[in-house]
Amino acid sequence: MTEHRNASIARDGKSIILAHDHGLEHGPAAFEGVEDRLDPETVFEMATHDAVTALAVQKGLAEQYYPSYDDQVNLLAKCNGSSSLWMGEPYSPQTWSVEYAAELGADAIGYTVYPGTNTEPQMFEDFQEVQEAAREEGLPVAMWSYPRGQAIKEHRKPETIAYATRIGLELGADLVKVKYPRSGDAMAHAVDAAGAADVVLSGGSKTSDYEFLSTVETAMDAGASGLAVGRNVWQRDDPEGILDALEQVVFEERSAEDALDQ
């Protein structure tokens, strides 16, 4: 058997990606109540948890903190991003070249695409170059695939999420990160539409432990290959606890209830 395409950021073909680009995407306001987590070192520490198969951060965090963690943490280089101060048409400009990400030790490349917006053509072209540069470096590519724009009335609609995963497959992503389409059946359809590409659930904003874990359980049952999670881990008082539970649900195939009972 050849190695899994996403092996560098997965365990047994499954991934728990800890995302920490909220400082750029949402700003310090995202840290209200957990101000100590403004210090990226706290989140790099969380990423050393066995459950975490990769940490997704922007270039600046990687430059400043990754050198102390490269033995313990797999780096998913998030190579584009925008601030929430910006009110324009959704677009995520490139903030990190693939070549420099590789030089800093990246194990995979992450890139956001907004299909359906007026910037779709530009983002497809951006992604084309990034994806092929990643191939040059021998790195897998994760697409944050978030349909937006005029035609998208409801962006978690099952058909929209299935289209989102399919776009990832067609354009050459190895792993596609999508919002939860509200049911296990819809998730299974999205996984089917992705073909040979892996699908991971986007963690989204913070919810209760049970609600969060049972969504993950449903997604895993539907064929998802794991999740990318940020606020649902680092906004919690006990990040280690939720990572313990996630590890059970994602890698040990235990139910949310069981995982919480431990």
Task: Give catalytic residues, as residue numbers.
Answer: 146, 177
Q: How far, in Å, CA of 46 to CA of 18, rounded?
A: 9
Is 88 a binder of a second copy (CB under 8 A)? yes
Residue identified by tokens 């606020």 is 231
CB of 10 to a second copy, least distance (A): 16
Is 8 a binder of a second copy (CB under 8 A)? no
Is 125 a binder of a second copy (CB under 8 A)? yes
Is 76 a binder of a second copy (CB under 8 A)? no
Hey, which residues between 34 and 53 contact a second copy (CB under 8 A)? 35, 38-41
CB of 208 to a second copy, least distance (A): 27
Is 116 a binder of a second copy (CB under 8 A)? yes
CB of 158 to a second copy, least distance (A): 9
Residue identified by tokens 């996630």 is 246
Per rule CB under 8 A, count of chain residues that contact a second copy: 71
Nearer to a second copy, 124 or 255 (CB): 124
Hey, which residues between 185 and 244 contact a second copy (CB under 8 A)? 189, 192-193, 195-197
Is 13 a binder of a second copy (CB under 8 A)? no
CB of 67 to a second copy, least distance (A): 10
State how far the alpha carbon of 142 is from the alpha carbons of 23, 169, 178, in Å: 20, 10, 11
Nearer to a second copy, 88 or 262 (CB): 88
- Cβ(94)–Cβ(125) below 8 Å: no
Q: How far, in Å, CA of 171 to CA of 90, rounded?
A: 19
Output phi, psi for 83, to 5 deg: -90, 160
Strands (E), the chain: 15-19, 54-57, 75-78, 108-113, 141-145, 175-178, 198-202, 226-229
CB of 45 to a second copy, least distance (A): 14
Q: How far, in Å, CA of 101 to CA of 105, rounded?
A: 6
Is 61 a binder of a second copy (CB under 8 A)? yes
Task: Single out the residue of 22, 3, 152 nearest to residue 90, CA to CA.
Answer: 152
* Angle ∠(29,31,37) on CA atoms, nearest 5: 150
Nearer to a second copy, 69 or 127 (CB): 127
Nearer to a second copy, 12 or 63 (CB): 63
- Given 105, 149, 204, 223, the residue binding a second copy (CB under 8 A): 149
Element (H, E) at 120: helix 120-137
Task: Single out the residue of 192, 218, 226, 231 nearest to residue 11, CA to CA.
Answer: 226
Count CA atoms within 13 Å of residue 224 on its CB side.
33
Nearer to a second copy, 151 or 257 (CB): 151
Is 75 a binder of a second copy (CB under 8 A)? no
- Given 46, 55, 130, 173, the residue binding a second copy (CB under 8 A): 173
- Given 7, 45, 94, 105, the residue binding a second copy (CB under 8 A): 94
